[in-house]
Amino acid sequence: MSAHPSIRMGELMVVRDDGALRTLLGSCVGIALYDRRSKVGGLAHAVLPWSPGEDAEPGRFVDTATDALLERMAALAGRRIQPTARIAGGADMFRTNAPRTIGQQNIEASEQVLGRLGIPIVGRHCGGTQGRRMIFDTGNGDITIEMVGQPPVELRDKDTLGSAAS
């Protein structure tokens, strides 16, 4: 499996090949979409839940990143796609007195946007207080989550991990 460049904060990438998309997540959320029929996959590293308007960078926000991934995946596939989603991140990296952390808001926004679009979330590794690396195998759609001091976790179809142990 070849490695593509790492996806940085606020970026997204869509590919059709056997490779790996990687990102490091804290309170941000990684949204991986995969269309099994066309073998097209995309990964976004969303920093904040909701875009303030159309002039915003599309990969920076959960709502616009998801829309941009779908648009670019369909263009690359050359047809309508039926993706599944896997999400990771949304850690509570900074202790605050806020009722909901930015990580929680990012997770909730991801669930709302994907639900509204009818895209099933078939794997998740969210929450906790520690960052994680998300590695997306674009050849088969699987995700590997790596966290310091813990064994890697594989997210395949039917995995529905709710929260990570910290």
pLDDT, tens digit (0-9, with 9 covering 90-100), for 79-117: 999 999 999 999 997 777 777 899 999 999 999 999 999
Contacts of residue 139, defined as CB under 8 A and 6 or more positions apart, other chains included, come to: 1, 17, 18, 19, 39
Helix (H) / strand (E) containing 97: none
- Partners of 64 in the β-ladder: none
Report how far residue 46's alpha carbon sits from residue 80's, in angstroms, rounded to the nearest whole number. 24
- Partners of 46 in the β-ladder: 29
Report how far residue 55's alpha carbon sits from residue 115's, in angstroms, rounded to the nearest whole number. 24
**pLDDT tens-digit map of 2-41:** 667 799 999 999 999 888 999 999 999 999 999 999 999 9
